[in-house]
Structures are given as C-alpha cells and as structure tokens.
A and B are shown apart, each in its own frame.
Chain A
Amino acid sequence: MASERKPAARAAENTSPFGFDTLQVHAGTAPDPATGARTTPIYQTTAFVFEDADQAASLFNLQTFGNIYTRLTNPTTAVFEQKIAALENARAATAVASGHAAQLVAFHMLMNPGDHIVASRKLYGGSITQLGVSFKRFDWHTTFVDPDDIDGFAAAVTPKTKAIFVESLANPGGVISDIEALADVAHKAGIPLIVDNTMATPYLCRPIEWGADIVLHSATKFLGGHGNSMGGVIVDSGLFDWGQNDKFPHLSQPSPAYHGLTFWETFGDMAFAVACRTISLRDLGPAISPFNAFMILTGMETLSLRMRKHCDNAQTVAEFLARHPKVEWVSYAGLKSDRYHALAQKYLPRGAGSVFTFGLKGGYESGTKFVESLQVFSHLANIGDTRSLVIHPASTTHRQLSPEQRAAAGAGDNVIRLSIGIEDVADLIKDLEKALAAA
C-alpha cells in the first residue's frame, strides 16, 4: 500500500539551489552572531563555557548542539566542515589533523579486529603503507587490487570486508577510478565505497554523485591550496544504510561509548559523521587546529578559480612535454592519447587535475640533474600548492628501494612528478625547457 512505503534513508536532498562558486564563498560562513565579523573569526580556544549544569549534561549526552572542547568541535573548524560538505553535495563532514588522520578515523568507525578492506593497488604510497603495514597492527587487513579491474574488487571482497577504498584521481600515477562501477560492487556487498578526492577536489569531481558513500580529503593540498596548513576531512554522503546488515555494529547497535545510544537510529543520515567525531576523533585525538581550519576555509573560497588555472596550466605543460624529444612518456589523463582519457571525460570533464608524472629519456642522473636545474619549480614532497612543485621519487621518497622495486612502484629512475601551480604557464615552460636541456 502506498501509505506504507518506506521512507528513504536520507531525510533531505542536499542539492543546493546555489552554484558552486557561491557555495565555496558562502557555505558555512554566516556573519559571526556575537560580533558581526564578516570573515570567520579564529576561535583559538581549547574549551567553551557551559550555560549551566543542565546544558553541560545535554551537551555530553549529544542531546543539544554546542561546543565543549576543540578536540570535538570548534566554530572555526565547523565552517570548513560545512563548506566541504556543501561542495561535495554531502550531509555532513568531520575535520581532522591531516589526510592520514581522515583515513584512520573513518576506518576506525567501520572496522573491528580481523576486518578487511579492499583498496586500489595504485593509492598514494603513504596510504599503501598506512593500510598495508600500520593498520595490520590493529588486525585490520587490506587486499590491494588493480584499480582497472572492477571484477578484481568484487572477487577480493570477503564476509569480513567493511569498505572499498580508492582515489578518484590517484597520486601520482594518473589512474582514474570508475567510481560508478565500484559503487555498484560495494553496494551489492552491503558495504560503503570510500573515495579519496584530494587530487580532483569537488570542483573537478563529486564522487557522491556517482555513488560514493564517504569522501576523504587531505585538505593540505588543493582545498587549502597554498601549501601552508595541514588538514584532513571525512565527508559523509548520508546515503548509506548502516542498518541494512550486521556489518557495522558501532553504528547500528547500542554504543558502549555512549551508554547504549544507537547512532544510526538517533542521528539517521548524519550518523557516520557524528560517530566519526564523537567516538573516533574523541578517542583517537587527531584534531585539526582552528588556525589551520581558518587557513583552509579561506583557501577554499577561491577553489574553482585556482583549479581552472591549475588544470589549464597542467594541460599546456603536459602537451609541451609530450612533444619534447627528451621526454619518453607523459601520464596525464587530459592528453587524448592517455589510457584514462575516456574516464577523465566522464568523471573530470572540467580538467584532469594538475599532478602527473613523466619519464625522462636517460636514467637516475638525468633525473637529479633535471630537478636541480629548475628555478621556478620547488623541489619538495607535496602537491596542490599555488607554486609549481617537482620531485624525483627515485632520489627522494623511494630512495631506500632497489632499482627493481622502484620501477615496480612506478618510481623508476627516469620518473619525475610535477604539481603544476597557477603561475604564468609561459614561465613554467621556459623553466622546464632549460632544465630538460641540462638533463
């Protein structure tokens, strides 16, 4: 009977009537109610005074909205959280100290000892180590599979698997995940698809609109965008039904951490974000500084402007390198010849990001000489800065590996990674030309 139809898990569509550029400026940033300050104030305080004992008790029981302690919530950080939730078309977000902290907190909310993750083999190297080595000490196990083999993800899922984890645009291999197909695999298994969207940002790709349930960011990169502040964030679509099976007892069963409160029943479509904050962030502790949150939310106000310039510059630089006689190959999905070009047109129609690798003709020595000959590019281990950045993985991040191991990791002796900034592209090309001549 029509009157008995089951309501959707989601209480409200988050699709905003406002455009992306309006949201990046305004979402979450109302004038300060106490002072009228138009820019978000930096609430640089550890704790907040209770109105009275009753309000304090309500706050600790999660019965009312308010601030207790900056490890849990902070009004400056909350603006960053609301902004990213709005831009990702999500229900809610929980900010943490770094991208790695976002992964730790998100998985802590899903996993028990003995549980399992299926992840892309081409994740950022630091994530491979976090999942493959450090998480093992919690008795959390990961099977890494070829990101191009959708059936491989399905085959790797076990009854203990609690999530599928990929990057929308992988760092630095240029792999683009087929989010829609992976969401289907995850949902058939009754588990969420988690997508790290650091390299694409919501301006280029909104994974939730393709079926992802949880989105993670290292806000240190393009969201902040200026290379000045560490931060991470867990974004909850609000679309996953945590009560559909018994795989997620921390959400669907009474919580011993809150005297028998059931998060899924009490908080509905924001249960995961609230639990990440009030259990995992509270008990593990990797809180973001309000000052860093302020720097990141200020950066986010210009996200679309920067991403357009980043992508335009990267496209021009990639095309220049692809034509250069000293360059063996360029791995950039914006190039028509790239193996991920078709997926880029589906998932990243506004641009393929600005971080990519290319191969020099020549070996290890050519790589170090090239890097040393650059003047505008900064030689450092980061991405997603206004400044153009370069690294030669073989002589830096992957130095401890043998040449064979380096090649297998996609960090062969001739591989250079670039993160293209928002400078004048002609100056970047001049700088690269000079360094290529010296290499």
Chain B
Amino acid sequence: MSATLDKIDHDNYNDDYVRGILRKTRVIAMVGASPNWNRPSYFAMKYLQQKGYRVIPVNPKEAGNEILGEKVYASLSDIPVKVDMVDCFRASAAIPPITDEAIKIGAKVLWLQLGVRNDDAAAKAEAAGLQVVMNRCPKIEFGRLSREIGWMGVNTRVINSKRQSRI
C-alpha cells in the first residue's frame, strides 16, 4: 500500500497520515500537562515516554516543577530545545494563541486532544505548513496503530498479516 499522507479531512484521518506523524516525531511539548497521576494528560505523557518520545510539559501553574522527570515550562517559547509536536490538553477556545506560538517556535505538528477542536486555528496552522490532528489522543492512536490497544478489546481497524508490530 502506498503511504499517502492525505489526511482526508478533520473528521476522518487516514491511518497513514497519523502514522507518518507519530513516526517522525521525537519531541512533544504537552500544553496543559498535569502533575496529578489520575488526569488524562499524565496518562498520555507516561505512555508516550515509555514509547521513546521526549515529552516536555507546559503549564504556567507548574512552571519550574517537574512532571515525570521533565522540567515544566510556562510557555512554548520558554522551551530551550526544538519541538516537533505541540499536543494540547486545553479547551477549544484556548487554542488560537497556542497555535500562534507553535508556529513561532517552528513546530511541525499541532495536535489537539480528544474533545478539542478549533477549525480556524487548524487552518492557520496548516497555512503555516504544520500538520494538524484534532479530537484525537496520540496515546490511543499509537496504541491502535501498534495494535497494543487491542489487548483491551478495542477495535483497531488495522488489518495486517505482517509479523512486525511497529506502528
């Protein structure tokens, strides 16, 4: 199968589009990361770390503290290393200024979590050359494409008779 990177549209993403993003990403800035173990952002950060991503938390209330061994920054602009993806655990209305900052720091991907969608911000990011994913979770998508999530009885929609289980 040819690896087309067309996303289709923001209601339906092509598996290859999401796979392409998760394969090339190394450093994720997680906006809205929480230090509480039972918050969804903490779940996602811990899982993505286990899969080899560096996840840098962004949360002004926690700036200077550590979450899961990583220093927390107050804003995307404060992060001293290059960021590939900006992953947002914020309300849809809070997305436009984060998008502007993501463009400014040269991120390649803007990812909005489950329940988060802002089509205007997405259009702006795409015009600036970023790839955009909305209303998805990178942990769930990684688990689905690697088929690990199938252990929980979840329909991965992936059919593959190859032996390898890389995403």
Give me the interface of A with B, judged by CB distance under 8 Å: 1-8, 11-14, 16, 18, 22-23, 26-28, 30-31, 33, 36, 38, 55, 58, 61-67, 73, 75, 77-79, 81-82, 85-86, 90-95, 254, 258-262, 265-266, 268, 270, 273-274, 277
Contact = CB atoms under 8 A, between A and B. Distances in A.
B43 A7 contact: no
A85 B144 CA distance: 14
Contact of B12 (A13, A18, A63, A73): A13
Given A1-B120, A6-B117, 6 more contacts: A58-B47, A63-B37, A63-B42, A65-B148, A85-B155, A277-B153
B40 interface: yes
Contacts of B137: 11, 268
A8 B135 CA distance: 9
B50 A67 contact: no
B50 A64 contact: yes
B164 to A, nearest CB: 8
Given A3-B121, A58-B46, A92 B161 contact: no
Interface in B112-167: 114-121, 134-137, 140, 143, 147-165
Given A13-B12, A63-B47, A268-B114, A82 B161 contact: no
A27 B163 contact: no
Interface in B38-90: 38, 40, 42-43, 46-47, 50
B159 A78 contact: no
A36 B163 contact: yes
Nearest to A31: B163
Mostly helix, strand, loop or mixed at chain B's interface?
Answer: loop
A28 B150 CA distance: 7
Contact of B118 (A3, A30, A81): A3
Contact of A64 (B46, B114, B119): B46
B155 A82 contact: yes
A3 B92 contact: yes
Given A5-B117, A31-B163, A14 B135 contact: no
Contacts of B157: 12, 14, 16, 86
B3 interface: no
Nearest to A262: B38
Contacts of B143: 65
A78 B121 CA distance: 39
Given A3-B92, A11-B137, A58-B50, A66 B151 contact: yes
B151 A261 contact: no
B162 to A, nearest CB: 7
Contact of B161 (A30, A90, A274): A30
Contacts of B163: 31, 33, 36
Contacts of A94: 153
B149 A81 contact: no
A436 B50 CA distance: 68
Nearest to A265: B40
A66 B148 CA distance: 7
Contacts of B114: 7, 11, 268
A235 B150 CA distance: 14
A30 B155 contact: no
A79 B93 CA distance: 40
B165 A30 contact: yes
B152 A270 contact: yes
Contacts of B161: 26, 30-31, 38
A259 B115 CA distance: 23
Contact of A26 (B38, B117, B159): B159
Given A11-B136, A22-B159, A31-B163, A78 B150 contact: yes
B151 A273 contact: no
Nearest to B121: A3
A16 to B, nearest CB: 6
A75 B153 CA distance: 9
B73 to A, nearest CB: 23
B92 A78 contact: no
The 6 A-B pairs with the shortest beta carbon distances in the complex, nearest first, are: A81-B153, A3-B120, A85-B155, A7-B135, A65-B148, A92-B154
Tell which of B114, B119, B159 has the most Cβ of chain A within 10 Å.
B159
20 contacts: A3-B120, A3-B121, A4-B118, A5-B119, A7-B135, A11-B137, A18-B159, A23-B159, A30-B165, A31-B161, A31-B162, A33-B163, A58-B50, A65-B149, A78-B153, A85-B155, A86-B155, A91-B154, A254-B38, A266-B38
A63 B46 contact: yes
Tell which of B46, B47, B157, B158 has the most Cβ of chain A within 10 Å.
B157
Given A2-B120, A3-B118, A61-B37, A82 B153 contact: yes
B153 A268 contact: no
Nearest to B114: A268
Contacts of B153: 73, 77-78, 81-82, 85, 92-95, 273, 277
B134 A7 contact: yes
B35 to A, nearest CB: 14
Contacts of B92: 3-4, 6
Contact of B140 (A11, A66, A90, A260): A11
Given A4-B92, A14-B157, A277 B152 contact: yes
B100 to A, nearest CB: 14
A26 B11 CA distance: 26
A90 B118 CA distance: 27
Tell which of B121, B137, B163 has the most Cβ of chain A within 10 Å.
B163
